[in-house]
Amino acid sequence: MSDRRQLVFDAFDNKKTQRVPVGFWFHFAPEELFINKPEVIRKNVEGHFRFYDTFRPDFVKLMSDGYFRYPNPTLEKVEKAEDLLKAKSGLVDDWIDAQTALVKELTDHFRSETATFYNIFAPATVLGFVLEETGSGLTLAGLIKDHPETLAYVLNVIKQDLARLAFRVITEGKADGIYLSTRNIQDKAVGREAYHKYITPSEQGVLNVANAVSDYNILHICGYEGARNDLSVYEDYDVKVINWAVVVERVSLQEGKKLFGGRAVIGGFDNTTNGVLYRGSKEEVERETRRLLEEAGTVGVILGADCTIPSDTPLERLEWVRRAAENYRR
C-alpha cells in the first residue's frame, strides 16, 4: 500500500500519523453538472487527471459532474404527489454503468497510489433535484407534511438505485468508498423525528450497502449556499468519517468530533471566495492551519473545507496547508 493511502486510512481509523492528511476538491465541469454529454464527462475526467498529476493529493473525492440528473423515466412527468407512486427502480442501468466506468477510468489512472471516494447524493437530495426539474411545485418539506408515506415510497425506490451505484463503483470501479452528500430539509417545520422517520431509512440503506463492501465511507453534511443543518440528526449514522460546513454551522472540528463519538472528521476551512484559503496570504493560510490543528488535534483529523472549493483556487494554496500541517508540532 502506498504511503499516502496508508496515511489517509490511518487517519480515518483514528491512528497517530506522521502528518495530518489534507483533502480538498473541485468541480471540474461546474456549469454543466446536470448535463450528461460526452464532452462534459471528458472535461470532468481530464480535470481529475490534471489535479492529480499536478498536486498528488492525499486522497481524491471523485466528482460526479455530468451525472447529477437522475434519469428515471418514471419520474419525468410528476405533476402531483400521487405521480411519485409510479416510480420504479432498476431503470437507470445506463446511468449506473457510465458512472462505474468513470470511476474505473479514474482509479486506473491513480494506480492505487491514492485513496478515492465517489460522490453520491443522498436519495432525498436526488429527489429534490427531480422535483425542481419537473416544475411541479412539490417540495420535500411539503411532501413530509402532506404526503409522508408517498415520500417514503419514492425515496425507497431511489435508494435501491443509489445503493446499486454505491456497490458497483466500489466493487467494479475500485473506489475505496463513497462520499454520501446529504443535508437537512431546509424547513424549520421538519424536525429530527420526521427526518428520522421518512428520510433516514433511505440514507442508511445506501450506507448499509456501501459499508458491506468498504470500511471507509464518508458522510458530507452539506452547507451549500449557507444551508444550516442540525448535525445531531446524523450522530448515529454508520460511517467512518464526517465532513460538515464548519464555518456555516459554527461547529468546530473539535466540537464535531465530540458530537460524532470521536470519529474522524474532515474540514476546517471556509470553501468560499471570502475565506482565508482563497484570499489569504501564505502566512495567513499557514496560521489558520496551525490554529485548526491546535484546536482539533492531529489524530482522526483531515484538513479540508466546508464543501467544494472554487475552481480557480491556485493549487499552491493547498500545498501551503499541506506543508504547514506537515511542519506542525503540538
SS (H, E, C) the chain: CCHHHHHHHHHHCCCCCCCCCECCCCCCCCCCCCCCCHHHHHHHHHHHHHHHHHHCCCEEEECCCCCCCCCCHHHCCCCCHHHHHHCCCCCCHHHHHHHHHHHHHHHHHHCCCCEEEEEEECHHHHHHHHHHHHCCCCCHHHHHHHCHHHHHHHHHHHHHHHHHHHHHHHHCCCCCEEEEEECCCCCCCCCHHHHHHHCHHHHHHHHHHHHHHCCCCEEEECCHHHCCCCHHHHCCCCCCEEEECHHHHCCCHHHHHHHCCCCEEEEEECCCCCCHHHHCCHHHHHHHHHHHHHHHCCCCEEEEECCCCCCCCCHHHHHHHHHHHHHCCC
Domain 24-266: which CATH class? alpha beta
**Taking 90 as the threshold, does the pLDDT of residue 313 lie above it?**
yes
Q: How do strand 59-62 and strand 218-221 relate by DSSP bridges? A: unpaired
Q: Could you tell me if 198 and 148 are in contact, meaning their C-beta atoms sit under 8 angstroms apart? A: yes
**Taking 90 as the threshold, does the pLDDT of residue 19 lie above it?**
yes
Q: What is the pLDDT confidence band of residue 111, given thresholds at 50, 70 and 90?
A: confident
For the stretch 185-224, pLDDT in tens is 887 778 889 999 999 999 999 999 999 999 999 999 997 7
Q: What is the pLDDT confidence band of residue 87, given thresholds at 50, 70 and 90?
A: very high
Question: What is the percentage of the chain residues whose pLDDT exceeds 70?
Answer: 99
As a whole number of angstroms, the distance between CA 238 and CA 243 comes to: 14
What pLDDT shows up at residue 223?
A: 79
What pLDDT shows up at residue 263?
A: 97
**Taking 90 as the threshold, does the pLDDT of residue 90 lie above it?**
yes
**Taking 90 as the threshold, does the pLDDT of residue 145 lie above it?**
yes
Q: What is the pLDDT confidence band of residue 120, given thresholds at 50, 70 and 90?
A: very high
- Each domain of the chain, given as residue ranges in start order, spans 24-266
**Taking 70 as the threshold, does the pLDDT of residue 16 lie above it?**
yes
Q: For all residues of the chain together, what is the average pLDDT? A: 95
Q: Could you tell me if 180 and 211 are in contact, meaning their C-beta atoms sit under 8 angstroms apart? A: no
Q: What average pLDDT does range 111-119 have in this prediction?
A: 94
C-alpha cell at 36: 450528461
What pLDDT shows up at residue 9?
A: 97
Q: What average pLDDT does range 68-92 have in this prediction?
A: 97
**Taking 90 as the threshold, does the pLDDT of residue 1 lie above it?**
no
As a whole number of angstroms, the distance between CA 180 and CA 119 comes to: 6
What pLDDT shows up at residue 330?
A: 67
Q: Could you tell me if 296 and 254 are in contact, meaning their C-beta atoms sit under 8 angstroms apart? A: yes
For the stretch 272-309, pLDDT in tens is 999 999 999 999 999 999 999 999 999 999 999 999 99
Q: What average pLDDT does range 234-238 have in this prediction?
A: 96
What pLDDT shows up at residue 192?
A: 87
Owner of C-alpha cell 436519495 = 123
Q: What average pLDDT does range 14-42 have in this prediction?
A: 96
What pLDDT shows up at residue 59?
A: 97
Q: What average pLDDT does range 42-53 have in this prediction?
A: 97
What pLDDT shows up at residue 240?
A: 97
**Taking 80 as the threshold, does the pLDDT of residue 226 lie above it?**
no
**Taking 70 as the threshold, does the pLDDT of residue 32 lie above it?**
yes
Q: Which residues contact 137 (CB under 8 A, 6 or more apart)?
A: none
As a whole number of angstroms, the distance between CA 267 and CA 25 comes to: 11
